[in-house]
Chains A and B, each alone.
Chain A
């Protein structure tokens, strides 16, 4: 420990020195001179931060690889709209990630096929297996893009659960002596007994035992729990029943027995005053504000939607020290069922990814660059930063960051002027080629544990969990070839009856589900809801899903 502190001290002195001399020195060491460096443009159909033109790591990479990429991001448009306007304007960037509009770009014949370059550049080839690459092939048999996310090198390292779960504050579990909570009923029983014993925070603010967001598309928080409670993974729009492995079947989770039981439970809890009275009308901002006060004991949501905000806010207010942080639970409707809240393994999304356009005057150089940014040295530069400045290496060769370094890395000005992730270019998750470190700092175990407050660490320990996925305890299994089905339902259009039904189902559910929960007469309201639901022909949608499922499962 002492040694580590000493090295840190030494390093920070070094760092100060480097900062004073600036980065020109290291930049000059590269193999390319300023005149040889070309600048490519890139557009990604996602929101993101632009880097400064004189970004330091971008400069280092440019001198090493001879290419600099100027990224532009999506602003105030959907991916399809943006791609539509780019096509109409005829001005294409050199690299593009078309997102939902990728297919449109392909149909427009403006993308360069990867096939020849895959043979030439091993790092690119290495990204996927041949079978996986085949999934990227379009109807003309060529590969035009590669998805850069969810691709694990070696051992997975993740300690986070980014997806959906029923979450509960660590202090509630601690208060109850860390019981096993496996079912929805147990979950609400625990909330009830805690709430009875502690109706307010220490300062007298009333506690809200449970809230749930219903705003716009984020109403998934309330609507899709039945699929998980039945033990199925997040196929998004439907359950895939594979009791007969040779003939998987689409099941509508909105009408299952479990769905009725789940909403009945919510209805009862609402009547008892356990559920936030404003849950149906709160906006996302209000929801986050509420969670950040630490008064909400439990909720159902995906981690990325609230977790970073609550963790931030709890830390600044010291609420993490009294155990307000949320931990996920892998609930099912009955005891003794498997759960699949956490999906192990990568979800291959072949619908979009980075592509090179025909506007690029030297595609070979572009592909070589895509290959080279996967070199471990460059990869470390992109995600860890400059050694000695952005991270340190201990005697075992493990990377770590000091508190100051973490803080610096979080500063948006520093990100723009110094860090250069090229976050939509090929990259790896998992374990570094050195076999020790994580490819990404966020996956490094020490980075995760260092950030945890005492109560949270105690809680994980009490359950013998090394991270959030262990808390949930989902089944570890290979993803079936059709997973996830949402990649199909997300792209339905009004041209088919199924697509029309899909949009209308959503409208009906948004309108009725809050009413079902708030109703004095659950059975009556549920019946009315089902009537409205069946009026929009959900079967049309289910039939199209079944058809797609059969196609993906290879059934005639």
Chain B
């Protein structure tokens, strides 16, 4: 509540005096805005492709205008609707899984008092980030194959009496993708939280210790609130990314049997756009994704604002 009051108080009326006082800030912003317009907003002119049958020969301005045909094509296709469902499902699942794991890992790592061990664990934890998806999925495929280690364990402990063909079963696909993401990115994603933890005033812990607080209590009352702004900001940013569930993992782990649940928007666009040289369709799908993302973050930002949390803008 205290923070909310503060933000309100900080609303400064635009006066000439205030502008003069903030001239450094304003000049900087201007430079950054010009930069942003050139490198991010001008290329958006390419969105015009979505409304025409783009051909390299005729270029952006000369290609045949087809209005909303490309969008109509997308949304009249039952496959596309299914693909949106898959993307959303995997996007949300990945978001939750990687998010929770990264925070959990950062907090638990922070609790390790043995300095060398802490550094070692952290260094190791972020290494898988540098492996390409093809390597990670290759190992995962090995581990989950009929003769792989997972089936071996399941058989030995008597959980199953026949090897499970994980990749033939539709219901396993989303969890496998989420696991792959957690496996690869937990250590890397935790770096931000570890940095945020450093900004917590150590005297708070000392005070808590004197009050007789245990580890859990300290985590709950000091560490978590301390990194909450970072958590909120990352959560808000990632909400806009749920439609970016990717294509590489799904492409590398998927097969004909699980196609119904494995295809994402990006794979759909690749199938239709690239292999058929249809730039316009890909652009249309891109615009759709952008619009959804922007709507999502604006809504999420409003919710955050209402509840007095950290917000994006």
> Hey, which bits of chain A sit against chain B, CB under 8 A?
78, 80-81, 83-84, 87-88, 100, 104, 107-108, 214-216, 219, 277-278, 280-281, 283, 285-286, 492-495, 499, 503-504, 507, 510-515
Contact = CB atoms under 8 A, between A and B. Distances in A.
B305 to A, nearest CB: 41
B56 interface: yes
Contacts of A278: 145-146, 165
B56 A83 contact: yes
27 contacts: A78-B274, A78-B275, A84-B279, A88-B56, A104-B56, A215-B255, A277-B146, A278-B145, A280-B256, A281-B165, A285-B138, A286-B141, A492-B276, A493-B276, A493-B278, A494-B276, A494-B278, A499-B276, A503-B271, A503-B272, A503-B275, A507-B79, A507-B259, A507-B271, A511-B257, A511-B259, A514-B256
Tell me whether chain B's interface is mostly helix, strand or loop, or mixed: helix
Interface in B31-51: none
A258 to B, nearest CB: 22
A111 to B, nearest CB: 13
Contact of A286 (B73, B145, B276): B145
Nearest to A85: B56
B57 A107 contact: yes
B71 interface: no
A514 B274 contact: no
B153 interface: no
A281 B167 contact: yes
Contacts of A81: 274
B57 A513 contact: no
B208 to A, nearest CB: 52
B252 interface: yes
Given A104-B56, A495-B53, A214 B271 contact: no
Contacts of B73: 494
Contacts of B146: 277-278
Contacts of B23: none
A203 to B, nearest CB: 15
Contact of A513 (B56, B251, B256): B256
Contacts of A499: 276
B257 A514 contact: yes
Interface string B238-282: 000000000000011001110110000000000110111111010
Contact of A280 (B56, B252, B255): B255
Contacts of B256: 214, 219, 280, 510-514
B252 A283 contact: yes
Nearest to B169: A281
Nearest to B79: A507
B96 to A, nearest CB: 27
Contacts of A495: 53, 278
A214 B255 contact: yes
B56 A87 contact: yes
A280 B276 contact: no
Nearest to A535: B78
Top-9 shortest CB links A-B? A281-B167, A107-B57, A510-B256, A493-B276, A511-B259, A80-B277, A281-B255, A514-B256, A281-B168
Nearest to A106: B57
A400 B138 CA distance: 41
Interface in B92-134: none
Which residue of A88, A277, A281, A499 has the most chain B CB atoms within 10 A of its CB atom? A281
Given A281-B165, A494-B278, A108 B57 contact: yes
Given A280-B256, A286-B145, A493 B277 contact: yes
A278 B141 CA distance: 12
Nearest to A214: B256
Contacts of A215: 255
Nearest to A278: B146
A219 B279 CA distance: 26
Given A277-B146, A493-B278, A510-B256, 6 more contacts: A80-B274, A88-B56, A215-B255, A281-B165, A511-B257, A511-B260
B76 to A, nearest CB: 11
A504 B145 CA distance: 29
A535 B53 CA distance: 26
A104 B63 CA distance: 14
Contact of A503 (B53, B55, B276): B276
